[in-house]
Structure 1
């Protein structure tokens, strides 16, 4: 490899990495739409390709040689597509997790987080990432969803002056970090304090439904979760 080729390879590969980073920032922080995200990802692919031209085999004259080289190029293309899907899966995993955890007490609205998540998943489907992988990435925010449901269901019990705060604090201390009680445990505790109000009962049913199916029973209400505690 000549010095000029080395410089070209380095420049294009750095541009590729920069565009991948821009893709992540655009999805999480800037709220880019799917078409812009795909354009950025495509540009990163082009830079990655141009930065590795020395790895692309040239065609040779002659029927036998041309056929052999064609097969080699096709195999290379298939390998590149597989690697692209792996990259998309890795980026999607990172982005969905970042979106779910970003600004728990400020920052992106709940609706914006849902919109960005759907755009990330749509981008993965657009490059034919296998369905099981997309579904697995879609479920990465599960623990954050559980936290939001538990926070909403139990909110008033942790406010000063409301009946049961000491009992609630003792109950809550059994879970640390992102651990939260299962619906049955939470229901039993609430029933031990007082009859469960209709609004809290409805949220409990929502929580039970999510744990059982991985989907929201009332999607329209879930989109308003940023307002639940206000």
Structure 2
């Protein structure tokens, strides 16, 4: 199991949200550069960085910071939040980002998604954030009428190889991942499915392994010391 620690950014600071609620924001960890270095020291094989402001507004106001973090990192970096132009994609790839997570743009701009997949088929990842089984966009503040399984199948048909799945109701709650939804999406598509949201301890990691999940993004549980990066594969 590859445990991927999350650095979620608002106004240049590492934060955590509760169930995607921007009014329930808690600052965590160190400054982003120090936190990146700490995760790498502790054995992270990949870092997940999200521009929460960008996800909400579509404007990459923290692009300079994220570009710097990508260049500083000695392990692969996955970036998400507000990636809605090829200019942004090109800049992040040039900075060294290994995977770029598209969410809102994957639903709202199929032409952009198709262009991005054609240009960087190995780098583009689709983020499927679900609320009551429906895909949410724009920093989770807008919920579509699209079923998350149907959307996953559409993305697979376009050539997507990796999906990050988040149950919004679980995110930041330490209540455990939505194993049923993860099992359903893993069964429905042949894409690699990365689990995100609600993971509280190593027992949850073991449960994810049992249903065939090989990667998990962990935020609050790592900051709280409930999940350790070293020994994750043991």
Provide the TM-score with structure 1 as the length reference.
Answer: 0.25
Q: Which has the larger radius of gyration?
A: 1
Which of the pair is proportionally richer in helix? 1
**Higher strand residue share:** 2
Whose relative contact order is higher, 1 or 2, with alpha carbons under 8 Å and at least 6 apart?
2
